[in-house]
Amino acid sequence: KAGVTQTPRYLIKTRGQQVTLSCSPISGHRSVSWYQQTPGQGLQFLFEYFSETQRNKGNFPGRFSGRQFSNSRSEMNVSTLELGDSALYLCASSLGPGLAGGPPHEQYFGPGTRLTVT
């Protein structure tokens, strides 16, 4: 089974531009989560999608947005890029939320997209 794929792997943008990152989950997985990884802040949760609906959102400004398509593929968009948005953006897929009150399904991570803002 193919793993989580993310495109592009590397991206260089300038301040003020916008960017769209793509994530294809493992076949059969319906949940996609996005995380930002920086040396200073570590790994921070951005948002999670399940069945094309945003189910949870982290503490990021509205410039960060995402969506999920009917085939479970997801995109995230960052508008009006700032230097501080330079980071590794990781996507993770899972089967879904799991049974109520039970342990969650495991999340499997992609290789990430390295975004550099100059």
Partner 1 sequence: GNSVTQMEGPVTLSEEAFLTINCTYTATGYPSLFWYVQYPGEGLQLLLKATKADDKGSNKGFEATYRKETTSFHLEKGSVQVSDSAVYFCALRGRNSGYSTLTFGKGTMLLVSP
Question: Torsion-angle region of residue 16: left (phi > 0), alpha (psi -120 to 50) or beta?
Answer: left
Q: Tell whether residue 111 is a contact of partner 1 (CB under 8 A).
A: yes
Report in angstroms how near the CB of residue 15 gets to partner 1 at its nearest. Answer: 25
What's the Cα-to-Cα distance from 62 to each of 9, 29, 36, 76, rounded to whole Å? 24, 27, 15, 12
Reported as type and span, the H/E element at residue 10 is strand 10-13
User: CA 81 to CA 32: how far, in whole Å?
Assistant: 23
Q: Tell whether residue 103 is a contact of partner 1 (CB under 8 A).
A: yes
Count of residues binding partner 1 (CB under 8 A)? 29
Report in angstroms how near the CB of residue 92 gets to partner 1 at its nearest. Answer: 8
Quick check: bond before 8 cis, omega within 30? Answer: yes
Candidates 35, 66, 68, 117; binder of partner 1 (CB under 8 A) is 35
Q: Which stretch binds partner 1 (CB under 8 A): 11-19, 65-73, 78-86, 108-116?
A: 108-116
Residues within the interface to partner 1 (CB under 8 A): 4, 6, 33, 35, 42-43, 45, 48, 50, 55-56, 58, 90, 92, 97-104, 106-112
